[in-house]
Amino acid sequence: MSRITITRPDDWHLHLRDAEHMRAVLPDTARRFARAIVMPNLKPPVTTTALALQYRDRIRAALPAGAAFEPLMTLYLTDNTQPAEIEKAKRSGVVHAVKYYPAGATTNSDSGVTDLEKCRGVFEAMESCGMPLLLHGEVTDPAVDVFDRERVFLERVLAPLVERHARLRVVLEHITTREAARFVATAPPRVAATITAHHLLINRNALFTGGIRPHHYCLPVAKREEHRRALVEVAVSGIPKFFLGTDSAPHARHTKETDCGCAGIYTAHAGIELYAEAFDAARSLDRLQGFASHFGPDFYGLPRNSENITLERSEWRVPDELAFGPDKLVPFRAGGKLKWNLV
Ligand code: NCD
Ligand code: ZN
Ligand code: ZN
């Protein structure tokens, strides 16, 4: 197959940042995807419906002329989030999920949840109105090895949570392990997962190829090859619980190339092309449409998109760096080749 036409995809996990940084990256996503679940980890975080509405207005105002792109907003869960805020969010029609960050787990997660017990009432409100909970699924216990933090999260946090809240819909975001793939595959239908393109394409060796590679550093950090293979297996399986979420996470070059570099990989410049490459390598291009365009809206209870996009097999070179407002960023595969192109 050298050309493939699929329903226009959506990105179910995206970081757009704000202001001039947002204006720099938004066109990459809007060109490929019809909708995206926009992460709320701004500084300060998007903790209320009112803040989400304002952020949505800023995104829409920054869209290139003629772009038909719809930002789907999320709320940042804190220890102080009230059940009434969830009801307000649901009524707004523009907030589609609530995001759980364990405090300190990842970029801008300082206001995240310190104690799940404090969120019981909020989770009950989410169960009642069918609002999904999106999870950054890692424990922050410094005694747990950084490569085990997702696996331990499944046992310590996710399994009890799914059990205690029998109607809660959850999406385990950016899964990186065989254990997470298996957990989600065997859980009830209300439990789903997103998978990034980079976790389908690289393993942890990519962090250390010939030297330390800060642009391959993200959280959860890439794992061993056997885990990458397990992710590819479920991504191409046709199981509707697994769908596309790029976790494209732009950071200025100087904040990654430093002695304490930020976590996050920018993939929006090739947000669908990279998945095409991963599915092609697994000889499963026929499964791309379900994963990229159907299973996400089905899970969120939204209509599938009606337009199509076409990808063709033709090599192109990724720039060494991209403008990022007043800064620069280094995109995934910078200076390297990509095998698929958006027509
Ligand atoms: C994300 C970011 O930069 O906002 N970074 C990352 O490594 N994935 C945060 C996140 O999704 O955990
Ligand atoms: Zn995360
Ligand atoms: Zn993310």
List, for residues 217-227, the tens digit of each pLDDT value.
Answer: 999 999 999 99
Mean local confidence (pLDDT), 261-277: 98
Single out the catalytic residue among 28, 145, 247, 320. Answer: 247
Altogether, the residues listed in the chain come to a count of: 343
Q: Nearest CA to 187 among 221, 234, 144? A: 234
The CA 106 to ligand 1 mean position distance, Å, reads 6
Q: Which ligand is nearest to the CA of 42?
A: 1
How far is residue 127's CA from residue 170's CA, in Å, rounded to a whole number?
10
Model pLDDT, residue 336: 98
Model pLDDT, residue 106: 87
pLDDT reading at 1 higher than 90? no
Mean local confidence (pLDDT), 317-343: 98
Q: For ligand 1, is residue 247 a contact (CB within 6 Å)?
A: yes
Model pLDDT, residue 3: 97
Q: Does an H or E element contain 276, and which?
A: helix 273-281
Mean local confidence (pLDDT), 132-148: 97
Q: For ligand 1, is residue 194 a contact (CB within 6 Å)?
A: no
Q: Which protein residue has the closest C-alpha to ligand 1 atom 5?
A: 264
| Local confidence band at 77 (pLDDT 50, 70, 90 cut-offs) | very high
| Percent of residues, the chain, with pLDDT higher than 90 | 97
Model pLDDT, residue 321: 98
For ligand 1, what atom is nearest to the CA of residue 219?
Answer: 7
Does residue 280 carry a catalytic annotation?
Answer: no
How far is residue 303's CA from residue 208's CA, in Å, rounded to a whole number?
42
Q: Give the environment of ion ligand 3: residues with CB less than 5 A.
A: 247
Task: List, for residues 284-297, the tens digit of each pLDDT value.
Answer: 999 999 999 999 99
Mean local confidence (pLDDT), 151-161: 97
The CA 41 to ligand 1 mean position distance, Å, reads 9
Q: For ligand 1, is residue 150 a contact (CB within 6 Å)?
A: no
Model pLDDT, residue 117: 87
Give the count of beta carbons closer than 10 Å to the beta carbon of residue 203.
18
Q: Which protein residue has the closest C-alpha to ligand 1 atom 4?
A: 107
Mean local confidence (pLDDT), 67-96: 97
| Local confidence band at 107 (pLDDT 50, 70, 90 cut-offs) | confident
Q: For ligand 1, is residue 17 a contact (CB within 6 Å)?
A: no
Q: Nearest CA to 95 among 119, 73, 118, 123? A: 73
Q: Which residues contact 236 (CB under 8 A, 6 or more apart)?
A: 279, 282, 284, 287, 291
Do residues 190 and 168 touch, judged by C-beta distance below 8 A?
yes
Do residues 38 and 73 touch, judged by C-beta distance below 8 A?
yes
Q: Which ligand is nearest to the CA of 74?
A: 3
